[in-house]
């Protein structure tokens, strides 16, 4: 740990312990210099960290002040879905979310797109631009089916950060993480099979179950520790489950990261019942603290975990670049990849390989993660200030999405009414096979500016209006 | 028809009728001037056309001479596949063809990649390069599921050239034509179903049948008129066929175009038996004569034809850009597209839309088609000169692939031995569900230069060696 980090961590603990109340002035730069025996610039760097995290604010000529911090939120209750295999519905809701081109003027809080406005993406844009000008068979023709060896090498190196030992030949490049997930599901199942999923769960995977004629077994999921292993064990005894599909790190939509012990236990359980695990790690690199969490795959000893990821949440969704480490299913996955899209576009692969190799990927991650963390603090504060007191809010460990529970409120209708006012959210029903979570919604916090504040205010107003209407109906 | 075209067509007819034998000198420029009452420059343009088509050659100060033309080839016999539904095999062969990165030094005659070396692609590269530098939600985020309205508009306009009436909303953009085909097949079928296919048939579609657990019913196919409608009718009466999958225009691998009357009759047959048609038109725009042939879709009155196409054969495979006009299956196709890859990369869509709108696409087509036509003449001549007299050769009407039948020769083994010598071809077994066409192979003629000539010479030598070995075995 660097010196400034030690100072920042200590001061952060004091802030969180309540030693400084909102509005309190922090000690002048000189005090920590003496206390920690460090230079002025070290303390300045530490204060800048705290400022970036939204914990303190600098006022010209007055020093640093503690900010009003988000109250520790009420977490959503652990989910209790119907514990039997169900067909997946909700396509109409998903379609209306994913088939809208980003309209100018509409605040897309329901979108799953990351922040792409930073300068740290510029080297990637430059590479893409340069490589697309080049002519030659290696840029123009079909790529090899497995994908570029340059990118696979970089991915294998990156995997070390999540404790995952991968060789470049263990990786197959795909057209986005969605193709990786879709290939994994189609590799492991036949129509009529049952797949166990966390709940709420990513709608892209769930719709793949629908397209393949599968049934989803939604399992109780804790908003801090993930899928219930106890419920999973019972389900594995009771149903012929072909695969377990989870997003254990910076979960979409709940934001939690399964603790290591539970990840390890999940692998052991899968081994005991001889079931494959599909691990969606597409938000995995967006950790608020270093090192990033380990993957489930990192405890996989017999190749039963199919690790799926991509660059749509860390770089740009429009590139459609993802990958899969399919373990023992490599041959079948290669066949599925071939029939799905043939091969993957080459230039984005080469550009991202350059971006990683030059260190720009990690630089970009540091930049966006700091920004997401600051935005999270701000947005949590705004929600607590604006929303009803009984609003439950998730507590993300990484990524850029937040899950809200508004007991008794119809969030499909809320969204319909908000869209009229230029604000879009993702209704909770999207994240359930059977339309559960109707009183929940997902928003992103890729931005936290005046427009987002105004959008949240409009949401809060609409929530108040709908609750009033509801009360009038009940009393009338 | 322009004046020079009239002159060129007339002279071409005279050449083809045998009025001028190889080596004969053509009339001097003045004669046609008088005969057709046109200017010297008009006749010069006409002669240049004939030269580009490989029919005549200019000798300095001596005028134009008729070239040795390819003998009218022996066509492969109409195919006679086993007329019952079969599971698809041959994945190992396909894998070894598609999983090789283009090795430097290996002559990839088996490849399905087009000629991308011409200057006419430069405006496209410039657009790609320019657009990838731009930042903004419309370039960075997920596209809408159906794809860019700009590209769909251009595709709807282009469709007019093939007599196909399409509105932009009738089109869904895909990651290459392979995704379009894969989506179409998965939309129409469930595991165990039977799909009727032309034979030989594109291995990408066939492997999709395998992945989906379907059976292929390979139908007798004529090397000039395509799938046998008589056999198809019998099959439709006998088997529960869910879809008919054909490549009726500039067929891969046979090169034929089904005559209009047969295309129309195919639609009528499909309607009578209430079966859908998957039409692969990916080579459709590469016609040697204008206007390009009509699609089957152009006779589709009730939306049962799913027209699949893309830009991998006309522009650059590496972009992975395709599309589907799914007719009455639009809703299911949209769902399949979503679960397959989410959305399609945006920038290639915008760049190709610009390329079409500016007229550069048609300009590029004219350039490559002229080159393919010239190459075809040259390569046919070389094959007739070098290969055994009993070699049967297809007679392509468009595109850039040629089908060879070498009676009794094991072309899988031939390819294995050729690869050792730096030449790769596509063995015929790839194009059959059941490994038929072992004595056939496909080569491309995107180039016709000294290296290709040397490659064909090596092939001819190897064929002679293998035939000799075979005779020795028989006699020994």
* Neighbour-count burial of B130, counting CB atoms closer than 10 A to its CB (0-12 exposed, 13-18 middle, 19+ buried): middle
Please tell me the distance from the alpha carbon of residue B295 to that of residue A113, in angstroms, as a whole number.
39
Residue-wise pLDDT for A89-105, tens only, equals 999 989 988 886 556 68
Interface of A with B in 13-42 (CB under 8 A): none
Q: Is the pLDDT at A245 greater than 70, yes or no? A: yes
Structure tokens at B374: 């010239």
> In this complex, do A144 and B100 lie within 8 Å of one another by their Cβ atoms?
yes
CATH number of the structural domain B3-66: 1.10.10.10
> In this complex, do A142 and B207 lie within 8 Å of one another by their Cβ atoms?
no
Q: Which residue, B426, B419, B417, is CA-closest to B444?
A: B426
Buried b (16+ CB within 10 A) or exposed e, A413-448: ebbebbbeeebbbbbbbbbbbbbbbbbbbbbbbbbb
Please tell me the distance from the alpha carbon of residue B2 to that of residue B463, in angstroms, as a whole number.
46
Q: Which residue, A379, A140, A455, is CA-closest to B113?
A: A140
Give the mutation candidate from A308, A341, A352 for the B interface (greatest B CB count, under 10 A). A341
SS3 B245: strand
Diameter of chain B by CA atoms?
74
Higher pLDDT, A157 or A23: A157
> In this complex, do B319 and A142 lie within 8 Å of one another by their Cβ atoms?
no
Interface of B with A in 182-201 (CB under 8 A): 182, 186, 190-191
A141 within 8 A of B317, measured Cβ to Cβ: yes
In chain A, whose CA is at the least distance from the CA of B132?
A129
In chain B, whose CA is at the least distance from the CA of A101?
B144
Interface of A with B in 300-359 (CB under 8 A): 312, 316-320, 334-336, 338-348
> In this complex, do B182 and A343 lie within 8 Å of one another by their Cβ atoms?
no
B125's CB contacts (< 8 A; 6+ apart) are A132, A133, A134, A135
Helix (H) or strand (E) holding A471: helix A450-475
A211 touches chain B (CB under 8 A): yes
Give the mutation candidate from A135, A338, A444 for the B interface (greatest B CB count, under 10 A). A338
> In this complex, do A344 and B320 lie within 8 Å of one another by their Cβ atoms?
yes
Mean pLDDT for the stretch of residues B30-57:
85
Higher pLDDT, B121 or B25: B121
Q: What is the pLDDT of residue A101?
A: 56
Interface of B with A in 354-383 (CB under 8 A): none
Confidence category of residue A410, pLDDT binned at 50, 70, 90? very high
Please tell me the distance from the alpha carbon of residue B216 to that of residue B243, in angstroms, as a whole number.
10
Minimum distance, in Å, between the CA of residue A114 and any CA atom of chain B: 8
Confidence category of residue B70, pLDDT binned at 50, 70, 90? low
Mean pLDDT for the stretch of residues B286-310:
96
Minimum distance, in Å, between the CA of residue B122 and any CA atom of chain A: 8
Q: What is the mean pLDDT of chain A?
A: 93
Q: What is the pLDDT of residue A32?
A: 85
Residue-wise pLDDT for A411-431, tens only, equals 999 999 999 999 999 999 999
B142 touches chain A (CB under 8 A): yes
Mean pLDDT for the stretch of residues B135-149:
92
Angle (CA) B197 B201 B203, round 5°: 115
> In this complex, do B320 and A91 lie within 8 Å of one another by their Cβ atoms?
no
Q: Is the pLDDT at A73 greater than 70, yes or no? A: no
Please tell me the distance from the alpha carbon of residue B460 to that of residue B467, in angstroms, as a whole number.
11
DSSP states of B116-134: --SGGGHHHHHHHHHHHH-
Q: How many CB pairs under 8 A join A and B?
A: 212
Q: Which of A136-140, B183-187, B419-423 has the highest mean pLDDT?
A: B183-187
B321's CB contacts (< 8 A; 6+ apart) are B173, B174, B175, B176, B310, B311, B312, B315, B344, B345, B348, B349, B352
Q: Is the pLDDT at B72 greater than 70, yes or no? A: no
In chain B, whose CA is at the least distance from the CA of A145?
B99
Q: In this complex, which of A100, A139, A340 lies closest to B179 when CB atoms are compared?
A: A340
Task: Report ipTM for this prediction.
Answer: 0.88
Q: In this complex, which of A137, A178, A344 lies closest to B342 when CB atoms are compared?
A: A178
> In this complex, do B341 and A341 lie within 8 Å of one another by their Cβ atoms?
yes
Residues of A in contact with B128 (CB under 8 A): 132-133
Minimum distance, in Å, between the CA of residue A339 and any CA atom of chain B: 5
Q: What is the pLDDT of residue B68?
A: 63
Higher pLDDT, B8 or A103: B8
Residue-wise pLDDT for B81-140, tens only, equals 988 999 999 999 899 888 865 566 889 999 999 999 999 999 999 999 999 999 888 899
Q: What is the pLDDT of residue B369?
A: 95
> In this complex, do B191 and A186 lie within 8 Å of one another by their Cβ atoms?
no
Residue in the structure block whose two tokens are 């109707």: A438
A241 touches chain B (CB under 8 A): no
Q: What is the pLDDT of residue B36?
A: 86
Residue-wise pLDDT for B240-288, tens only, equals 999 999 999 999 999 999 999 999 999 999 999 999 999 999 999 999 9
Interface of A with B in 61-120 (CB under 8 A): 91, 94-95, 98-102, 111-113, 116-117
Confidence category of residue B57, pLDDT binned at 50, 70, 90? confident
B296 within 8 A of B246, measured Cβ to Cβ: yes
DSSP A77: P
Q: What is the pLDDT of residue A56?
A: 80
Confidence category of residue B71, pLDDT binned at 50, 70, 90? low
CATH, domain A119-359, list 3.40.640.10, 1.10.510.10, 3.30.420.40, 3.40.718.10: 3.40.640.10
- What class does CATH assign to A107-111+362-475? alpha beta
Residue-wise pLDDT for A435-462, tens only, equals 899 999 999 999 999 999 999 999 999 9
- Domain ranges for chain B: 3-66, 91-95+102-114+362-475, 120-360
> In this complex, do B98 and A345 lie within 8 Å of one another by their Cβ atoms?
no
> In this complex, do B343 and A179 lie within 8 Å of one another by their Cβ atoms?
no
> In this complex, do B99 and A129 lie within 8 Å of one another by their Cβ atoms?
no
Helical H segments across A359-410, by residue range: 360-386
Q: What is the pLDDT of residue A325?
A: 98
Structure tokens at A443: 């928003």
Please tell me the distance from the alpha carbon of residue A351 to that of residue B173, in angstroms, as a whole number.
24
Minimum distance, in Å, between the CA of residue A223 and any CA atom of chain B: 26
SS3 A339: helix
B46 within 8 A of B32, measured Cβ to Cβ: yes
B204 touches chain A (CB under 8 A): yes
Mean pLDDT for the stretch of residues A257-282:
98
**Residue A17: is the preceding peptide bond cis (ω within 30°)?**
no
Minimum distance, in Å, between the CA of residue B344 and any CA atom of chain A: 7
Minimum distance, in Å, between the CA of residue B149 and any CA atom of chain A: 10
In chain A, whose CA is at the least distance from the CA of B129?
A129
Residues of B in contact with A111 (CB under 8 A): 141-142
Confidence category of residue A309, pLDDT binned at 50, 70, 90? very high
Q: Is the pLDDT at A69 greater than 70, yes or no? A: no
A461's CB contacts (< 8 A; 6+ apart) are none
Q: In this complex, which of A140, A176, A213 lies closest to B316 when CB atoms are compared?
A: A140
Q: Is the pLDDT at B412 greater than 90, yes or no? A: yes
CATH, domain B120-360, list 3.40.50.720, 3.50.50.60, 3.40.50.10380, 3.40.640.10: 3.40.640.10
Mean pLDDT for the stretch of residues B3-10:
84
Q: Above pLDDT 90, what percent of chain A?
A: 77
Mean pLDDT for the stretch of residues B404-420:
95
Mean pLDDT for the stretch of residues B327-341:
97
Minimum distance, in Å, between the CA of residue B363 and any CA atom of chain A: 19
Minimum distance, in Å, between the CA of residue A133 and any CA atom of chain B: 5
Q: Which residue, B204, B226, B213, B249, is CA-closest to B426?
A: B204
Q: Which residue, B59, B76, B46, B194, is CA-closest to B441?
A: B76
> In this complex, do B117 and A135 lie within 8 Å of one another by their Cβ atoms?
yes
Residue-wise pLDDT for B203-238, tens only, equals 999 999 999 999 999 999 999 999 999 999 999 999
Q: What is the pLDDT of residue A153?
A: 98
B121 touches chain A (CB under 8 A): yes
Give the mutation candidate from B113, B135, B141 for the A interface (greatest A CB count, under 10 A). B141
A243 touches chain B (CB under 8 A): no
Q: What is the mean pLDDT of chain B?
A: 93
> In this complex, do A135 and B116 lie within 8 Å of one another by their Cβ atoms?
yes
The predicted model scores a pTM of 0.88
Mean pLDDT for the stretch of residues A127-132:
96
Minimum distance, in Å, between the CA of residue A32 and any CA atom of chain B: 42
In chain A, whose CA is at the least distance from the CA of B100?
A144
Minimum distance, in Å, between the CA of residue B460 and any CA atom of chain A: 26
B178 touches chain A (CB under 8 A): yes
CATH, domain B91-95+102-114+362-475, list 3.40.220.10, 3.90.1150.10, 3.40.190.10, 3.40.640.10: 3.90.1150.10
Residue-wise pLDDT for A369-381, tens only, equals 999 999 998 999 8
Q: In this complex, which of B129, B140, B149 lies closest to A129 when CB atoms are compared?
A: B129
């Amino acid at each position: 740990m660097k010196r400034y980090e030690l100072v920042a961590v200590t001061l952060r603990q004091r802030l969180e312990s309540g030693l400084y109340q909102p509005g309190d002035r922090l000690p002048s730069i000189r005090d920590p210099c003496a206390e920690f025996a460090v230079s002025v610039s070290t303390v300045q760097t530490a204060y800048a960290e705290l400022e970036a995290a939204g914990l303190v604010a600098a006022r010209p000529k007055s020093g640093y002040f503690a900010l009003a911090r988000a109250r520790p939120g009420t977490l959503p209750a652990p989910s209790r879905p119907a514990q039997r295999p169900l067909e997946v519905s909700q396509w109409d809701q998903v379609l209306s979310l994913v088939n809208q081109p980003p309209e100018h003027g509409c605040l897309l809080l329901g979108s799953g797109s990351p922040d792409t406005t930073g300068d740290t993406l510029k080297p990637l844009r430059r590479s893409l631009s340069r490589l697309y000008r080049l002519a030659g068979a290696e840029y123009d023709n079909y790529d090899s089916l497995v994908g570029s060896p340059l990118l696979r090498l970089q991915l294998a190196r990156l995997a070390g950060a999540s404790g995952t030992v991968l060789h470049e030949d263990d990786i197959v490049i795909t057209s986005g993480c969605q193709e990786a997930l879709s290939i994994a599901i189609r590799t492991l199942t036949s129509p009529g099979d049952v797949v166990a999923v966390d709940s709420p769960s990513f709608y892209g995977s769930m719709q793949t179950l629908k397209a393949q004629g599968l049934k989803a077994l939604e399992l109780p999921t804790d908003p801090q520790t993930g899928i219930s292993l106890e419920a999973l064990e019972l389900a594995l005894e009771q149903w012929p489950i072909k695969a377990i599909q989870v997003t254990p790190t910076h979960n979409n939509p709940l934001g939690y990261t399964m603790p290591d012990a539970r990840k390890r236990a999940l692998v052991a359980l899968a081994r005991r019942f001889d079931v494959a695990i599909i691990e969606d790690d597409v938000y995995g690199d967006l950790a608020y603290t270093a090192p990033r969490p380990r993957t489930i795959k990192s405890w996989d000893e017999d190749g039963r975990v199919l690790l799926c990821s991509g660059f749509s949440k860390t770089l740009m969704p429009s590139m459609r670049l993802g990958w899969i480490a399919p373990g023992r299913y490599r041959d079948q996955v290669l066949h599925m990849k071939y029939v799905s899209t043939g091969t993957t576009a080459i230039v984005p692969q080469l550009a991202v390989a350059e971006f990683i190799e030059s260190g720009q990927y990690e630089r970009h991650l540091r930049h966006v993660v700091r920004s997401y963390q600051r935005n999270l603090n701000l947005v949590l504060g705004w929600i607590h200030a604006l929303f009803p007191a009984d609003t439950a809010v998730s507590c993300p460990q990484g990524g850029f999405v937040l899950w809200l529970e508004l007991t008794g409120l119809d969030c499909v209708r809320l969204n319909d009414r908000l869209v009229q006012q230029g604000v879009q959210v993702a209704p909770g029903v999207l994240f359930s096979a059977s339309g559960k979570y109707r009183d929940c919604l997902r928003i992103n916090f890729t931005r936290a500016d005046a427009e987002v504040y105004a959008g949240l205010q409009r949401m809060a107003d609409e929530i108040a209006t709908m609750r009033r209407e509801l009360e009038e109906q009940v009393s009338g």
